[in-house]
Chain A
Amino acid sequence: MSKVEEILSELGYVAHHPARMVEQWKKETGGKAVGIMPIHCAEEVVHAAGMLPVGMWGGQTSISLAPEYLQSFCCSIMKAVMEFTMSGAYKNLDAIICPETCDTLRVIPLMMRKAIPQTPIIGVVLPDNRKIDAGIKYTAAEYRSIVKQLEQITGNPVKDEDLQNSVEIYNEHHAAMMEFFKVAVDHCDIITPYNRHMVIKSSYFMPKEKHTVLVKALIDELIKLQPSQFKGHKVVVTGIMSEPDELLEMFGKYGYAIVADDLAQGSRQFRTPAPADDDPYIRLGKRLANFEGCSCVYDPEKLRGKLLKQLVDETQADGVVVLMMKFCDPEEYDYPFIKQDLEEAGIPHLYLEIEQQMESSEQVQTRLQAFAELLEERKN
């Protein structure tokens, strides 16, 4: 196995074994673990409290318990989250933080409190008016409030220096991820859509400082290799996430490479660094103020189309694939302007409706194949 393969296989293992990773962390450190629901909550506060932040982005499971709480028209991520909640899959989490991202996520934490009353469910509500002074201060205060609640769980106070340190560690991790995405463009044969996702997903289940080391090592190895002469279709993907795994395997099968992403689970988490400030909480507030182009963050200018065009230009991509999470309001509202902006820019795009529990992949296959043909024709 080459060094690159070794690292990818390690990350792939982590991505597929969140429960084991939590167990291992607890055994090794004696520390606690805190689940973090999508989409935007600064994990740094959990890190600073000495706990392991664990991403909770649903997963593939059959849905049998969740309908006790949720109607059929709930997004599949939250159906899976409710299913896992009820089946006991989260029993190793000492608390769960739940940001209010959309109408669905206003309610899910309330239902989790009913389903697992023994686990503290910490709500966080980030501001829409995130750029005004009152908004930045409010973000800071929300995070202070979370930290207070976490302190009660650990019994240890979190000092400002602790959080400053965590913010630095995360800035470094995020920069490494962005660097990896850039380097990966030259190695589409190795960094397949599936492998690329494994690098992202694994970051949700291991301490960031460790993940940074692995990602940096991966970058170093990739740089040593000759850039690949990729003949397939380079695309930018946008949406909440690119799961399930079969979807990514289909991308590979039909000759696609993902050269950049605008996924909530992907670069939206990494692309905006926390600026410097003496107050670490204000740093987190300012990062939210500077962040752009997400369906779950207030954006009256609707900049996402512009941002996608920029990503296409930078990576010389052939097109965009919109991975539409079925029943996801924020993404569904954003789509028509994305469509308009891409059409105006002459960028072809594919609209693909996905669910985490995809029952039939035939339609997706057909559409991916047809889009591949269209991109091929455009090249000739």
Chain B
Amino acid sequence: MTDTTQVKAAKDVVKDLQAEYYAEANRAHEEGKLVAWVTSIAPREFLEAMDIVTIYPENHAAAIAAKKGSMEMLDIAESMGYSIDICSYARVNLGYVEAGDSAAGKVPYPDLLFCCNNICDTVTKWYEILSRRLNVPLIMIDLPFSHFDQPQEHTIDYIVGQFENAIKQLEEITGKPFNYEKFQHCLELSNQASTLWKESFEMGKNKPCPFNGLDYFNYMAQIVCSRGNEKAVYFFQLLKDEIAAKVAAGEGYIQDEQYRILWDGIPFWYNLRVMAKSLKDRKAVQVASTYTENWALTYDTTDLRSMAKAYMGNFTNREFEFRFNNMCRIIREYSCDGVILHSNRSCKNQDFAMYELARQVTKATGVPVAIVDGDQDDPRAFSEAQYETRIQALFEMIDQRREAK
């Protein structure tokens, strides 16, 4: 971190941090530090406590797509026999393993893998493959899907048992005793960062919305990869202050915003431009996203059971009523006029509840919903013309609803 970052906008700072992050990771790897490949909502505090460098294949795959490099990786994976129907993050990453370089640069290869399936079962399959392909140990944190509104006690017992097991595995892999003191510190920092993260995006409730919600897809890299260390706290404090100042000054991303939109799902990384443009042209602003909410993760830092519960609580790991109530809540709290749901070819866990969710949410809130087809990393599954048609229809519905009022 350089001092000049202090005067920069959060948007630029995050770019620097991300560049530094990869450079540092590559350097640390050369210096013999252990590197783990980790899933996006894994309890990385365990790794931070042991000074292990963490790399996020999902983030890297997103960055590769944003730099228009995903097709190259997808081709490699598909030529190995990986079906075009499986998650494109996995395909891009499995292609990267063979290629060793990408449009978004290199990341060090892992000494261990740390997989947490609270987001999907896809990552379990994907990390199994990495473990065999790269011949490195896999620490699996299995956070069971919850069919109940509150997790059952035996499920929490199981997770805590796995945390304890993971600690043992980490001690074996690093050859060092687990650093409980540092761990405690990481838990606290993690909670601080998550709280700041949440406080910052919740300012999207203001009218006009002080930020472009799409920027949160970039900020996300930090909450994913640095939650649990000082950097994240530093960055999210900066972000929060910046947004708070805008709110105080009554400043909006679009001063005379006309529409407030909730986005559900992962963006099309290879075409953020079209997402941004289709909103901006209509003076619409993305005020919230169900995706960013996933890292608003806080828990009692003195209780592993509380941590277990927090980490299994993201919406894709929960039953329908939670997903539904959560979406209705966001629509209400952020005064959304419309919702865009991304029917993402990669992400079956989110997709297959989507049609029902769309029906129920519209019924309960009256807010129109558009379902757009696509994929986060595979541009072949996306049609710009079709996207534009669906978005157009959404705004027409919003207008009709306003007229009817």
- The answer to whether A109 and B85 touch across the interface, beta carbons within 8 angstroms, is no
Decide if B154 touches A70 in the complex (CB within 8 Å). no
Shortest Cβ distance from residue B107 to the other chain A in the assembled complex, whole angstroms: 21
CB nearest to A302 among chain B residues? B132
Determine whether the beta carbon of A298 is less than 8 Å from that of B124.
Answer: yes
B165 touches A132 (CB 8 A): yes
Query: What residues of A have a CB within 8 angstroms of the CB of B140 in the complex?
Result: 128-129, 298, 300
Query: Does residue A137 face the partner (Cβ distance < 8 Å to B)?
Result: yes
Interface residues as binary, A107-141 with B (CB distance below 8 Å gives 1, 0 otherwise): 11111011000000001010111001111011001
Contact between chains at B128 and A298 (CB < 8 Å): yes
A244 vs B347: C-alpha distance when bound (angstroms): 27
Which of B87, B147, B316 interacts with A123 by CB under 8 Å? B147
A111 with B161: in contact, given A103-B121, A145-B154, A329-B86 (CB under 8 Å)? Answer: no
CA distance A298 to B115 in the complex (A): 12
Contact of B158 among A107, A137, A336 (CB under 8 A): A137
Q: CA A141 – CA B151 in complex, angstroms?
A: 13
- Given A125-B145, A134-B165, A300-B138, is A110 in contact with B320 using a C-beta cutoff of 8 Å? yes
Q: Are A134 and B161 interface neighbours, CB within 8 A?
A: yes
CB distance from B35 to the nearest CB of A (A): 18
Query: B343 contacts the other chain (Cβ, under 8 Å)?
Result: yes
B180 partner residues in chain A, CB cutoff 8 A: none
With A125-B144, A298-B124, A336-B80 given, is the CB distance from A73 to B158 under 8 Å? no
List chain A residues, Cβ under 8 A from B142.
127-129, 298
Q: Is A13 an interface residue (CB 8 A)?
A: no
Instruction: Quote the shortest CB–CB distance from A73 to chain B (angstroms).
Output: 6
Name the distance in Å between B86's Cβ and chain A's nearest Cβ: 5
How far, in Å, is A303 (CB) from chain B's closest CB? Answer: 10
- Enumerate chain B residues within 8 angstroms of A125, measured Cβ to Cβ: 144-147, 155
A338, closest chain B residue (CB): B81
Beta-carbon contact of B158 and A135 below 8 Å? yes
| CB proximity of A37 to chain B, nearest CB, Å | 13
Check B155–A138 contact: CB distance below 8 A: yes
For chain B, residues 100 to 140, give those with C-beta under 8 angstroms from any C-beta of chain A. 117, 120-122, 124-129, 131-132, 138, 140
In the complex, chain A residues whose CB is within 8 Å of the CB of B152: 141, 145
Task: Mark contacts of A328-351 with chain B using CB atoms, 8 A cut-off: 1 yes-contact digit, 0 otherwise.
Answer: 011011111101000000000000
Q: B82 to chain A: which residues have CB within 8 Å?
A: 332-333, 335-336
Task: Please measure, in the bound complex, the distance between the C-alpha atom of A308 and the C-alpha atom of B83, giving whole angstroms.
Answer: 21
Contact yes or no, A128 B124, CB < 8 A: yes
Binary interface profile of B, 344-367, with partner A (CB < 8 Å = 1, else 0)?
A: 010111011111100000000000
Cβ of A326 under 8 Å from chain B: yes
Q: Would you call A114 and B356 a contact (CB within 8 A)?
A: yes
Q: Which of A30-83 contact B (CB under 8 A)?
A: 68-71, 73-74
Annotate A252-290 by CB proximity to B: 1 below 8 A, 0 otherwise.
Answer: 000000000000000000000000000000000000000
B157 within 8 A of A: yes
Contact check, B83 vs A74: say whether CB atoms are below 8 A apart: no
Q: Is A102 an interface residue (CB 8 A)?
A: yes
Q: In chain A, residues 224-266, which have Cβ atoms closer than 8 Å to a Cβ of chain B?
A: none
Task: Tell me whether B319 is interfacial, beta carbon within 8 Å.
Answer: yes
Measured CB to CB, the nearest residue on chain B to A133 is B161
**Interface presence of B162 (CB below 8 A):** yes
CA separation between A100 and B127, bound complex, in Å?
Answer: 18
Residues of A within 8 A of B349 (CB): 103-104, 106-107
Contact assessment for A330 and B165 in the assembled complex, using a CB-CB cutoff below 8 Å: no
* Cβ B356 vs Cβ A134 within 8 A: no
B167 to chain A, nearest CB (A): 13
Residue ID in chain B nearest A126 by CB atoms: B144
C-alpha spacing A134/B160, complex, angstroms: 9
| Total A residues in contact with B, Cβ cutoff 8 Å | 50
> CA–CA, A25 to B343, complex, Å?
42
Task: Let me know if A301 is at the binding interface, CB within 8 A.
Answer: yes
- Among B132, B347, B353, the residue within 8 A (CB) of A300 is B132
Question: Which of A109, A125, A134, A333: most chain B Cβ within 10 A?
Answer: A333
Contacts A71-B351, A132-B165, A329-B348 given; does A100 touch B85 at CB 8 Å:
no
Q: Is the CB of B132 within 8 A of A301?
A: yes
Interchain CB contact under 8 A, B122 and A103: yes
Within 8 A of A (CB), among B305-363: 316, 319-320, 343, 345, 347-349, 351-356
Instruction: Establish whether residues B165 and A129, one from each chain, have CB atoms under 8 Å apart when the complex forms.
Output: yes
The reply to whether B125 and A330 form a contact with Cβ atoms under 8 Å apart is: yes
Q: Does A180 contact B (CB under 8 A)?
A: no
Q: What is the CA–CA distance of A71 and B358 in the complex, to the nearest angstrom?
A: 13
B321 to chain A, nearest CB (A): 9
Q: A139 to chain B: closest CB distance in Å?
A: 9
> Cβ of A100: which chain B residues have Cβ within 8 Å of it?
121, 144-145
Q: Which residues of B contact A300 (CB under 8 A)?
A: 127-128, 131-132, 138, 140
- Complex: chain A residue closest to B125, CB-CB: A333
Q: How far is the CB of B378 from chain A (nearest CB, A)?
A: 12
B158 closest partner in A (C-beta): A138
Given contacts A69-B356, A100-B144, A107-B352, contact A332 B128 (CB under 8 A): no
Q: Shortest distance in angstroms between A104's beta carbon and chain B's nearest beta carbon? A: 5
In B149-204, the 8 Å CB interface with A consists of: 152, 154-155, 157-158, 160-162, 164-165
Answer whether residue A209 sits at the interface, using C-beta atoms and an 8 A cutoff.
no
Whether the pair A302, B128 counts as a contact (CB closer than 8 A) is yes
Residue A327 is within 8 A (CB to CB) of chain B in the complex: yes
Given A69-B356, A138-B154, A300-B138, A333-B126 contact (CB < 8 Å): yes
User: Could you tell me the distance in whole angstroms from the C-beta of A205 to the nearest C-beta in chain B?
Assistant: 26
Chain B residues whose CB sits within 8 angstroms of the CB of A301 once the complex forms: 131-132
**Interface flag for A23 (CB, 8 Å):** no
The reply to whether the CB of A299 lies closer than 8 angstroms to some CB of chain B is yes
The answer, yes or no, to whether A142 is at the interface (CB within 8 Å) is yes
Give Cα A298 to B141, complex, Å: 11
The residues of A that contact B147 with a CB separation of less than 8 Å are 109, 123, 125
Interface residues of B in 1-36 (CB under 8 A from A): none
CB-based contact B86/A332 at 8 Å: yes
| B-side contacts of A142, CB under 8 Å | 154
Query: Which residue from chain B places its CB closest to the CB of A332 in the assembled complex?
Result: B83
What residues on A are CB-neighbors of B343 within 8 Å? 71
How distant is A14 from chain B, measured CB to nearest CB, in Å?
A: 31
| B128 and A123 form a contact (CB under 8 A) | no
Top 3 nearest A-B pairs by Cβ distance? A134-B161, A123-B147, A141-B154
Identify 19 residue pairs between A and B in the complex whose beta-carbon atoms are under 8 Å apart, listed by A's number: A69-B356, A70-B352, A103-B352, A106-B349, A107-B348, A110-B353, A114-B356, A125-B147, A129-B162, A132-B165, A134-B160, A134-B164, A142-B154, A300-B131, A327-B85, A329-B85, A329-B121, A332-B86, A333-B125
Q: Which residues of A contact B (CB under 8 A)?
A: 68-71, 73-74, 100-104, 106-111, 113-114, 123, 125, 127-129, 132-135, 137-138, 141-142, 145, 295, 298-302, 326-327, 329-330, 332-337, 339
Given A128-B124, A335-B83, 13 further pairs, Cβ under 8 A: A73-B85, A103-B349, A107-B349, A110-B356, A111-B353, A125-B144, A129-B165, A134-B165, A135-B161, A295-B125, A329-B86, A329-B87, A336-B80
